[in-house]
Structure formats: structure tokens, C-alpha cells
Structure 1
Amino acid sequence: MDEQALKIDPLPKVWDPDARIGQMLEGKRGLIVGVANADSIAYGCAAKLRAFGAELAVTYLNEKSKRFVEPLAEQIEASLFLPLDVEEPGAMEKVFKRIGETWGELDFVIHSIAFAPREDLHGRVVDCSKDGFAQAMRVSCYSFIEMARYAEPLMKNGGSLLTMSYYGADKVVNHYNVMGPVKSALQATARYLAAELGEKNIRVYAVSPGPLKTRAASGIADFDELVDAAVKRSPAHRLVDIAEVGRVVAFLVGGGASGMTGDTIYVDGGLHNVA
């Protein structure tokens, strides 16, 4: 039984599709970056990937966040639990060095981090400070490039790199502000990485969930308004949950998506198709 799924799914299920899939990721090892609490998209991905048999390395931002993330890492039986602040020089290199020393290879990376200074996130793009824009790009986009660089030599038999985007990268979404251009750059980065790493059988995807009530999303001004609009406009008139995102990520990491790379995969209940 998929116990992790039952813990994070908000609605009870008579039949859990994950239980039928079974251990399709047995033997795969991956790094999850971005778990902050039980509502994090990264945690939804981690719980599903572990439930399907993957072995995981999980990072935490700093000592303050460690007490929230450590119980979750223990729950999903993470083999490695490591600190990672992508703005700290040398921190990412240490994480991948530890993975190399412990596992010797890596099958996937889930990049689920983003940041912009509050004053820049809440202001117009035209008023965004140079330093604020640079920091948003550094944390939210360039860190994915760095992870790909460190992961490449460890993906000896191929692998997959996934990052989290949002519909505000494609269209103007009220209050998303500077994160729109930043996520657009992230999606373009995924395409270019896919082109460069394809010959090594390393696949790259941007996953674009609909609005989710995560800690990171709470920093967006009038986020409740954005959520209400998504529920009203989406075909099913509901939000997706982190478990649904996790299932799609498991598909992309597994062999079922071997013929796909460079794509932005929408997990938003069809919201992006509605004008």
C-alpha cells in the first residue's frame, strides 16, 4: 500500500492508482531540492518517487528549516539528508560530491526552488531592482544550470532533470510580476539543456503545476485571488494537489517518458488551455 500517498493526499481514495503501479522506480536514485514542509511541491514529488521505489537524497536550506524538513526526510526514508543554500559558494559542489561518494551515480534531479526579494516580487517588473532581478534569476534559474552541470558526470547511464515552472511564464498573470520573466528563462533553459545533454540520454523537463497553496506561493500578492480564478476557470473547477504533480514527475523519471525531452509539462487541470 502506498502509505506516503495516503498521508499527503487530501481526499480519501477507494482505489489508489499508485498501488497498482508498484515499484516502477526500484533501483533509481535521485536528488530532491526544495522541500520546505509537507505542503511543498518537492515533498509531493519526493513522497511519490519513494513510494514507487526510488532512493532519495533530500536537501534543506539552513538550520532554521532543518527542523521542518528532517521529519519528512525520515518519513520517506531519505538515504541522504544534506544542507544546500544555492547562494552559498561551494554548497552545491559539496552536495554532489557527497552523492558521488555515496552512490557513485545519479538517475534524476528534482529542482523545486525559487526566490525573489519581496519588494521586487510585489512591484511592477519595470520597477524591479537590478540586484533583485539578479537574485531571482540566480536562485530560481541559474541554480538549475549548475545542478545539471554537477549531475551530468554522475548520470553515467542517462537520467532526467526536472524543474518547476508556472503558467505565468507563458502568459501575463496578475501579481506574478518578476517571476514571470524568471520562469520564462527557466523553461528556455530546460529546452537548451535538453538539446545539449540529449546525446548522453539525459532528458530535461519543466513541470508547470497550477497554483498550489505552498509556502513559496504565499509570498505572491493577492494569491487567494489567483487561486479563486484558477478554480473558476479550470475545466474541473478545482486545484491540483502535490500528489498529482508527484505522479507526473514519477512518470517523467521512469521509462515511460523515454521519448520526451525539453518539454514543459502542464499539471494544472487544463487551466492553461482555457482563454
Structure 2
Amino acid sequence: MLRGRKGLVVGVANADSIAYGCAASLKALGASLAVTYLNEKAERFVRPLAEGLDAELILPLDVEKPGEMEAAFEAIRKSWGRLDFVIHSIAFAPRDDLHGRVIDCSLQGFQQAMAVSCHSFLTMARLAEPLMTEGGALLTMSYYGADKVVNNYNMMGPVKAALEASVRYAAAELGQKGIRVFAVSPGPLKTRAASGIAAFDELIDAAVERAPSHRLVDIAEVGRTVAFLVSGAASGMTGATIYVDAGLSIVA
């Protein structure tokens, strides 16, 4: 289904990462992967996972370090000459700002959260554009808190809302080049990143209770959805936020 497709997966931290679930599904369907790690400390966890997926490129990428995004895409250009998809699965907010009221968050904290969680996706879209000579797909990860108020999600709500709006605008701007853009919105998952949200266990329990399926989704289900969006089967779709949350988002 994806044999011959080449793509970049950003955000693998461990085997529980959404990005890892995406990478595993994409690889299982024949895609060739470039996988990134945040820094030297993270590399010892990410590299074995990437090697287990036969990743052709394993690259450092800290989006807060000037030049690292450009270097990663240049490495892809030199090795592959083209790119078919990008999976952007990173987000960050300073703990003090994340745990406080939205109206109390600091300017510096808000700017950092926006830079890492939202603007980095736009930068990756710009860098990927010249490599997607035959079209492609750009995907990022959102959450229901972008659309509705979720207790303790706090400042990440406005940040993810900006990300979803960015997806729509990028889809409009890149559509003529055959580049499709999506936000995928999983339900709450027990990932390392999510553990920074206050009272996260309560959020999990509430999701299980309220979702029509009365369960959580897993990273494999998110990965299969991502693989569908990357594939030609989703050629008629772009600009949408796709919920993979066992129906939680339909419940008032």
C-alpha cells in the first residue's frame, strides 16, 4: 500500500509514543522512514526503535535549535531527493504555564508552546514543499481540547486550536501542488508527553466513561488512521481534523 513512499516521522520518544505507533503502521505497509530523536539523551531510547523499523535515516532534531530542521530536511534531500509524507507529533508547554490558568500564562511560555507545538509544523511544511515534487501528505497531532474546554488542558487548548487552523490554511495553500494536510486528534493516551497534564488519570477515567465505546484508543489505531491518510486511498481529503478517540468527540 505504501511501498516506495518515503517519509519523515518526528516525535518518537519511546515505544508508547504516538509517533512510534504511526511509524510502525507506515513501515508495516511498506514505507521507508526517516526517524528523528530530540537530543543525545533521547537517542539511546529512540535509535533501537528506529533500527527495529529499519529506518533509513536516524536524525537529530530539536525544533528549538536554529538550523536543525533545515539540516534534517537537507539530509533527506541528499539521501532520497524527495519526500512523500511528514508526521509531526511533538508538543511542549512549560510546566508552570501548563498547570495554571490560561489567562495567567506567561508570554514567554505561550510563545515557546506555540513555537514547538505549532510553528514548527509550518516550518516543516515549508521545508517539505520543494521535496514533495509529486504531491504528499503533512500530518500533525491535535487533541479535542482545541475545540472544547477540557479540564487541566489549559494553555494547550489555544495552542492546538492554532495548530488546527494552521492545517486548514496550509491545505489551502499547498493543495494545487497535490500536498494534503491533516490534523489527527486522538483521544487521551498514556504517553510521556501527556503525563505532564495535571490530574491526567482523572482525564483518562472520564474519557473511558463518556466515550461511546467506553475505552481508550491505542497508538496502533492512530497509526492505521495515519497510514490511510498518507495513502492514495485518502486522495480526496485534505484540511480536516480527523478524530481517533472511540467517539469521545461526539459526546456533549
Q: What is the letter of the counterpart of residue 88 of structure 2?
A: H
The residue number in structure 2 matching 1:198 is 175
RMSD over equivalenced CA pairs, Å: 0.3
Say whether 1:32 aligns with 2:17.
no
Tell me the residue number matched to 1:231.
Answer: 208
Per the alignment, residue 56 of structure 1 pairs with 33
Q: Which amino acid aligns with 2:106?
A: S
- The 5 A counterparts of 1:11-90 are 24-90=1-67
4+ residue stretches of structure 1 with deviation over 6 A? none
- The C-alpha deviation readout for 1:146-183, integer Å capped at 9, x for no partner, is 00000000000000000000000000000000000000
Look up the equivalent residue of 1:123 and give its one-letter code.
Answer: G
TM-score (norm 2): 1.00
Q: Distance in 2 between matches of 1:144 and 1:42?
A: 14
Kindly indicate whether residue 83 of structure 2 is the aligned counterpart of residue 106 of structure 1: yes
| Matched residue SS, 1:35 | coil
Aligned match of 2:217: 240
Shift of 1:105: 0.2
Q: TM-score under structure 1 normalisation? A: 0.91
The corresponding residue for 1:265 is 242
- Between the aligned partners of 1:57 and 1:273, the Cα distance in structure 2 is 35
1:136 aligns with 2:113: yes
Gaps of 5+ in 1: 1-23
The secondary structure found in structure 1 opposite 2:86 is strand
Cα distance in 2 between the residues matched to 1:241 and 1:195: 31
Structure 2: gaps of 5 or more residues: none
Within the candidate set 126, 141, 153, 1:164 is matched to 141
Q: Which amino acid aligns with 2:36?
A: T
Secondary structure in 2 matching 1:120: helix
Q: Secondary structure at the match of 2:137?
A: strand
How many angstroms apart in 2 are the aligned matches of 1:82 and 1:197? 26
Displacement of 1:115 in angstroms is 0.1
Q: Which amino acid aligns with 2:183?
A: A
Aligned length: 252
Residue matched to 1:218: 195
Q: Supply the AA of the counterpart residue of 2:173.
A: E
Paired with 1:205 and 1:227, the residues of 2 have a C-alpha distance of: 25
How far apart are the structure 2 equivalents of 1:265 and 1:68? Answer: 29
1:146 maps onto 2:106 in alignment:
no
Residues 109-166 of structure 1: per-residue CA shift (max 9 Å, x gap)? 0000000000000000010000000000000000000000000000000000000000
The one-letter amino acid paired with 1:44 is G
Letter of the 1:173 counterpart: V
